Amino acid sequence: MPPRTRRTEGLSRERIVEAAVELLDTAGEAGLTFRTLTERLATGAGAIYWHVANKDELLTTATDAVVAEALPAASAGSPEEEIRAVALGLFDAIEQHPWLATQLLMQLTRNPGGPVAPRIFEAIGRQIGALGVPEHSWFTATSVLVHYILGTAGQTATAEVSTTREAFLDTVARSWENLDPEAYPFTRGVAKQLRNHDDREQFLAGIDLVLAGVTTRHSS
């Protein structure tokens, strides 16, 4: 076994993923292409393909890396507290990396066999078990929570990197307020709730609402 040659410079999977995350953060999903990536890494397309199978794998790996960092390390308090910590960890990560929401939704629905889905499922699901939920409801209860967290946090994330969150939500709320009153009375009515539904408090209230359902159900 020859000693591994030392390389201060040189490409690596890690460096590529790191650059991909930076590009996604800076320029959004459309900003990550093999051209921008090769330019930033000062290399050729083939070099990247040596370390990474294709763009899908690159996106999966980038998403997984960000999620791994976002999830809280050790369990501290009660199951409820832990679930809130996981939820807020993902919420904050999505705020910092707006592309993450779409990517996570895609991973869950289209690539549940990949590394990302189990990571999130495990973080939430363990606490569901600790909560005393009967085993036959574990999958459903965990699914509900995970989809609420990602969906809600995703609605919060600004669509365009350039717009601020407030401006984005305001635009949506305004368009809801302009809907036909006959056909859309409910949606018009909750438009103002949308305006600040991304408050962490509001977000956590939703978590508690789900937890109420999860814990009530099996005591009857």
- Binding residues (CB under 7 A) for DNA: these are 10-11, 32-36, 42-47, 49-51, 54-56
Closest approach, Cβ 63 to a copy of itself, in A, equals 15
Stretch that binds a copy of itself, among 39-47, 57-65, 84-92, 152-160 (CB under 8 A): 152-160
Round to whole Å and give the CA distance between 107 and 1: 38
Would you count residue 157 as binding a copy of itself (CB under 8 A)?
Answer: yes
CA-CA distance, 115 to 135, in Å (whole number)? 24
Residue of the chain from 12, 78, 109, 164 that contacts a copy of itself (CB under 8 A): 109
Binding flag, residue 190, a copy of itself (CB under 8 A): yes
Query: Residue 146 binds what, of a copy of itself, DNA, none (CB under 5 to 8 Å, by partner type)?
Result: a copy of itself
- Would you list the DSSP string of 52-104? -S-HHHHHHHHHHHHHHHHS-SS--S-HHHHHHHHHHHHHHHHHH-THHHHHH
Reduced to 3 states, what is the DSSP secondary structure of residue 124? helix
Q: Which two tokens stand for residue 215?
A: 């814990």
Q: Of residues 48-107, which lie at the interface with a copy of itself (CB under 8 A)?
A: 101-102, 105-106
Compute the least distance from the CB of residue 124 to a copy of itself, in Å.
Answer: 9
Is residue 134 involved in binding a copy of itself (CB under 8 A)? no
We find the least distance from the C-beta atom of residue 66 to DNA, in angstroms, to be 19
Output DSSP code: residue 191: H
Confirm or reject binding of residue 206 to a copy of itself (CB under 8 A).
yes
The two three-digit tokens of residue 123, written as one number? 């973080």
Among a copy of itself, DNA, none, residue 144 binds (CB under 5-8 Å by kind): a copy of itself
Burial class (CB in 10 A: 0-12, 13-18, 19+), 58: buried
Hey, what are 129's tokens? 């078990």
Residue 91 and residue 129 in contact, taking contact as beta carbons nearer than 8 Å = no
**What is the C-alpha separation between 69 and 65, in angstroms, rounded?**
6
Residue 117, amino acid: A
Residues that bind a copy of itself (CB under 8 A): 101-102, 105-106, 108-113, 118, 121-122, 125-126, 128-129, 135-144, 146-148, 150-152, 154-155, 157, 159, 171-172, 175-176, 179, 183-187, 189-190, 193-194, 197, 202, 205-206, 208-214, 216-217
